[in-house]
Amino acid sequence: MAEAAELMEESAGYASGGEYVLHHLGFLTFGKTHDGHWGFAHTEEEAADMGFWSIHVDTMGFSLLLGLLFLGLFRSVSKKMTSGVPGGLQNAVEMIVEMVQNSVKTSFQGNNAFIAPLALTIFCWIFLMNLMDLVPVDIIPLIAQTIAGDSHIFFKSVPTTDVNITAGFSLAVFILIIYYSIKIKGLGGFLGELAFHPFGKAALPLNLVMEVPAFLAKPVSLALRLFGNLFAGEVIFLVIALLGWYQLPLHFVWAVFHILVIVLQAYLFMMLTIVYLNQAHQHH
């Protein structure tokens, strides 16, 4: 196995397995360079120097592409929907919609028609982004390198392995939590829950110490849970790829197991979003 790994690494132009893994974890970054011009980073150091206003073009592009795929697919099915014997695609869409509806009915006690479409969008979009992790790790980077004419270009196809994407989802949910908390309870009611819960007005400092970190931890936990699970899965796929031809049985076994992770992480993100927004609609 070691000889096969060394042969694969040499043929791919990487000095070691570690260099191979690190390269495949890099992003196609666009930003402002040291000389003041805007362009793509050619090394990890250049990407880091571009700072906050740089953008990961690959993950952003794939996330938008998959979002459009979700919208187009569901719109097409809804326009062609029949009351007769449905096809396989209509069956799948109806099962997903029914699952989301049941999840909202059991976990959300408020009255808000926005929650179910939001939950459906979150589940399907994150699921499609997670699903890209099952594409063989070298195919899409190789296509990108061939098109660009650069055999060392960075390119990733799994948006949820980029913490910027998962943090973006979490921040959007967090903003909705604050918005509905203030809309339903008023600013005083929202702040009062943080200041006076759970021990009453007399224990205000203690309440703040307990409630504020727990409240701020919601978006952090949402982002890191999704990112951590998908990133770990991607790293394992890359490590398995180092085995050359010996990778096929292990790759298949890990892919089958990872299907559960892909679905579960999308479902958990959706359910936690429903639960958090339900809390925002409840008076204490």
Q: Is 75 a catalytic residue?
A: no
107, 112, 164, 225: the catalytic one is: 225
Rounded alpha-carbon distances, angstroms, from residue 121 to 134, 173, 251, 270: 21, 12, 30, 9
The number of folded domains in the chain is: 1
Instruction: Write the pLDDT tens digit of every residue in 189-239.
Output: 888 888 887 777 777 788 888 888 999 999 999 999 999 999 999 999 988
Predicted local confidence at residue 247, as pLDDT: 77
| Residue 102 lies in domain | 2-281
Instruction: Report which residue type is found at 105.
Output: K
For residue 4, name the pLDDT band (cuts at 50, 70, 90): very low
3-class secondary structure, 78: helix
For residue 266, name the pLDDT band (cuts at 50, 70, 90): very high
pTM over 0.85: yes
16, 76, 91, 221: the catalytic one is: 221
Instruction: Report which residue type is found at 52.
Output: F
DSSP letter for 36, please: S
Predicted local confidence at residue 15, as pLDDT: 62
Which residue(s) pair with 32 in the sheet? 38
Q: Is 181 a catalytic residue?
A: no
For residue 13, name the pLDDT band (cuts at 50, 70, 90): low
User: What mean pLDDT is reported for the chain?
Assistant: 88
28 and 144 Cβ atoms separated by less than 8 Å: yes
157, 170, 207, 229: the catalytic one is: 229
Predicted local confidence at residue 9, as pLDDT: 44
